[in-house]
Amino acid sequence: MSLSSEPDSAEQRDREAIEHVLGRPLPDDPWPAAALPPGTRVLVVQDPEWDGPWAEEFLGVVDRTGVPEPVRHRLAQPNEFAYWVAFDEPQRDADGDGPYRKAQIWGRYLKPVPSS
């Protein structure tokens, strides 16, 4: 499943804006088989070791702005992905910045919400 398979216009505008800010294109690779699928409802949780990365826990949806990318950081967990998540309501991060309506979030902070 490739991102080029007709993203909606809002996701395409978000993608273009993010690429402009990053100064590089987002990968257009196939969706990783081991990743949460797009459309997955998630609870974004705080880190148990510190007061972040978000001011509170909240709901969102994994979206197709960009494919999940491996987290390349010394604190990354093995095979951890960073996902683009659209928030149900705008959110502030732990530093009070925002509000944001979407962000790239490490997998450790996402808990799938069972459908009812």
25-74 per-position pLDDT tens digit: 998 899 999 999 999 999 999 998 888 899 999 999 999 999 999 999 99
Cis peptide before 38 (omega within 30 of 0): no
Query: What would be the CATH architecture of the domain defined by 9-112?
Result: Roll (2.30)
Q: Where are the extended beta strands (E) located within 19-78?
A: 41-44, 58-62, 69-70
Average pLDDT of every residue of the chain = 91
Which of helix, strand or coil describes residue 103?
strand
What percent of the chain has pLDDT above 90?
Answer: 76
- Residue 39: name the closest of 80, 69, 8 by CA: 8
Kindly indicate the confidence band of residue 3, based on its pLDDT and cuts at 50, 70 and 90. Answer: very low
Tally Cβ neighbours within 10 Å of residue 71: 17
Reported as type and span, the H/E element at residue 64 is none
Token readout for 55 is 């001011």
8 A C-beta contact, residue 85 and residue 61? yes
